[in-house]
Amino acid sequence: MAKDLTVMLEDRPGTLAALGEALGKAGVNIEGICGFPVGGRGMMHVLVADAAAARRALQQAGIQVAGEQDVLVLDLQDKPGALGATARKIANAGVNVTLVYLATRTRVVIGVSDLAKARAAVGA
> Does 106 have pLDDT greater than 80?
no
CATH entry 3.20.20.80 includes domain 72-122 = no
User: pLDDT tens digits for 32-62?
Assistant: 999 988 999 999 999 999 999 999 999 999 9
Least-confidence region, from 6-10, 20-24, 77-81, 105-109:
105-109
Residue boundaries of the structural domains of the chain = 3-70, 72-122
Mean pLDDT (whole number) for 19-37: 96
Integer Cα distance of 63 and 56 in angstroms: 10
The pLDDT > 90 percentage for the chain reads: 81
pTM beyond 0.85, yes or no: yes
Class of domain 3-70: alpha beta
User: pLDDT tens digits for 79-94?
Assistant: 999 999 999 999 999 9
